[in-house]
Amino acid sequence: MNKKQLTDEIKRTGSFLCVGLDTDIKKIPAHLLECENPVMEFNKAIIDATAPYCVAYKPNTAFYETMGAKGWENLQETVDYIRTKYPEKLIIADAKRGDIGNTSAMYARTFFETMGVDAVTVAPYMGEDSVKPFLGYDGKWVVLLALTSNKGSHDFQVKTLEDGKKLFEQVLTTSKEWGSDDTMMYVVGATQSEMLAEIRKIIPDHFLLVPGVGAQGGSLAEVSRHGMTKECGLLVNASRSIIYASNGEDFAEAAATEAKKLAEEMKSYLIEQGV
Amino acid sequence: MNKKQLTDEIKRTGSFLCVGLDTDIKKIPAHLLECENPVMEFNKAIIDATAPYCVAYKPNTAFYETMGAKGWENLQETVDYIRTKYPEKLIIADAKRGDIGNTSAMYARTFFETMGVDAVTVAPYMGEDSVKPFLGYDGKWVVLLALTSNKGSHDFQVKTLEDGKKLFEQVLTTSKEWGSDDTMMYVVGATQSEMLAEIRKIIPDHFLLVPGVGAQGGSLAEVSRHGMTKECGLLVNASRSIIYASNGEDFAEAAATEAKKLAEEMKSYLIEQGV
């Protein structure tokens, strides 16, 4: 999926919501545990309920890997379900991968060929040759970590380099030369919205994947005010606040209600900014 | 496995070799492709052939994930095979994971509970709360990326901070407070041996996992000279140069020959340093 297709879907739905599929068998409604494949029952219901209000899905690989090979089957089934039923949605594997070139090439093959997602999150610490192998696929995206939403982002990402740049600014400046705004996005946490104006000076046109709204406490209004471009340029993710909105039999309706609430707020910001 | 047990195995074998199981179905000997489970036939033969000459195995998750759920089954079978037949060997999942706290906790559960390896490689970019969940397991290890063996290590890891430290030195200085030398190791590439003396000033006693000898061109002699402690403190990894030493029917014997050669050289350095 290219940038124009993604932007068109944002305009069509009036939403830039990404639903994070952090499906934890220990947290899904108890009545689903009687099904043969509880994770897929849960994911299908969540996907069907939220599809009208979002433009992207982001399964988090950790939550599937923890169940071993069965979990990877569930992850593949989830991707296949979205791809078949909602081909207009962007699928991001939230995997935070990154290794030396020949190994990153295997990860790229895993996510873009075997699994068939549109985008994968990648960690920048190992530099160019750890990221480049993911950039060799037409219509696929690298979502590179820049400034994350967690407390640990203060340990290294905001350290100042001798030339005055912060590390995450160096990551943006260096890495934007590796691809284009049609092949790379960046992760910037919603809890870091005060940094968005500075970030937009370095990467005015790239899409940002913004986690941290919802359970982590970031503000959608602030993110939209400081991060939105004239083509939107934002994917704001919410995971737990949507998928665990209820753990009763009404979990899917509750997820739809939460997603709709965010989408309506998003629509108002899109109108405000004239997207 | 704790530090004393690992050091005892190094003394028993006279080796500090880690064999990297980067098993690529496209590279294994053609005659194995007729077997029902070619990856496991290959891995078992490599493990049996090299066990006398090494103290650790390091399956690289990328090479298994690329085959989807079947690959994860192979990865689990490989871990189980080593655990059962060679319980004295350290098993490192080379996975380069790292995410916000609740997600890293799922990765820790994946590797230490579901899969049952002894150690996992972790990327530092997201800071303390992305690493801490891996440190809550008795006898398990975090192997944190510090200074990697690839060209891309120059992009960010060696950048100088405003206080004069390089980024990887800051990673070492900050992160060594999160655990101890009985719970944390660090990745330092063999191609970076000129930095080892500086690194040993910051972490005099931690084990280092050193990739980059062999196919990547690092020198075992230099690594041993500058990185060895009085308890050894080194695990030197070789992957491709051992497991793909031959792609004929003699692949296992050829792997044993390569591993033995490295182990004999290692023994001479252990004697030299009085370990």
* Mean pLDDT of the residues in chain B: 96
Tens-level pLDDT at each residue, chain A (275 residues): 999 999 999 999 999 999 999 999 999 999 999 999 999 999 999 999 999 999 999 999 999 999 999 999 999 999 999 999 999 999 999 999 999 999 999 999 999 999 999 999 999 999 999 999 999 899 999 999 999 999 999 999 999 999 999 999 999 999 999 999 999 999 999 988 889 999 999 999 999 999 988 777 889 999 999 999 999 999 999 999 999 999 999 999 999 999 999 999 999 999 999 98
- B99 CA to centre of own chain: 20
At B182-228, the pLDDT tens digits run 999 999 999 888 899 999 999 999 999 999 887 778 899 999 999 99
A residues 103-132 lying closer than 8 A (beta carbon) to B: 103-104, 106-107, 109-110, 113-115, 123-131
Complex ipTM: 0.96
A211 class by beta-carbon count within 10 Å (0-12 exposed, 13-18 middle, 19+ buried): buried
- Asked if B173 is an interface residue toward chain A (Cβ–Cβ < 8 A), one would say no
Instruction: Note the pLDDT of residue A256.
Output: 98
- Asked if B24 is an interface residue toward chain A (Cβ–Cβ < 8 A), one would say yes
- Rounded Cα distance between B151 and A237, Å, is 33
Instruction: Note the pLDDT of residue B192.
Output: 86
B residues 36-95 lying closer than 8 A (beta carbon) to A: 60, 62-63, 65-73, 76, 94
Tens-level pLDDT at each residue, chain B (275 residues): 999 999 999 999 999 999 999 999 999 999 999 999 999 999 999 999 999 999 999 999 999 999 999 999 999 999 999 999 999 999 999 999 999 999 999 999 999 999 999 999 999 999 999 999 999 899 999 999 999 999 999 999 999 999 999 999 999 999 999 999 999 999 999 988 889 999 999 999 999 999 988 777 889 999 999 999 999 999 999 999 999 999 999 999 999 999 999 999 999 999 999 98
Active-site residue identified among B96, B165, B261, B267: B96
The tokens of B14 are what?
Answer: 């006279």
Instruction: Note the pLDDT of residue B217.
Output: 80
The total number of residues written for chain A in this structure: 275
Tell me whether residues A103 and B157 touch, CB distance under 8 A. no
Percentage of residues of chain B with pLDDT beyond 90? 95
Question: Mutual orientation of helices B251-272 and B220-227 as an angle, nearest 10°?
Answer: 30
- A111 CA to centre of own chain: 14
Tell me whether residues B100 and A149 touch, CB distance under 8 A. yes
CB A121 within 8 A of CB B99: no
Instruction: Note the pLDDT of residue A214.
Output: 74
- Rounded Cα distance between A71 and A63, Å, is 8
At A112-127, the pLDDT tens digits run 999 999 999 999 999 9
Instruction: Note the pLDDT of residue A157.
Output: 98
Instruction: Note the pLDDT of residue A153.
Output: 97
**Which residue out of A126, A170, A216, A241 would a mutagenesis test of the B interface target, given it has the greatest number of B Cβ atoms within 10 Å?**
A126
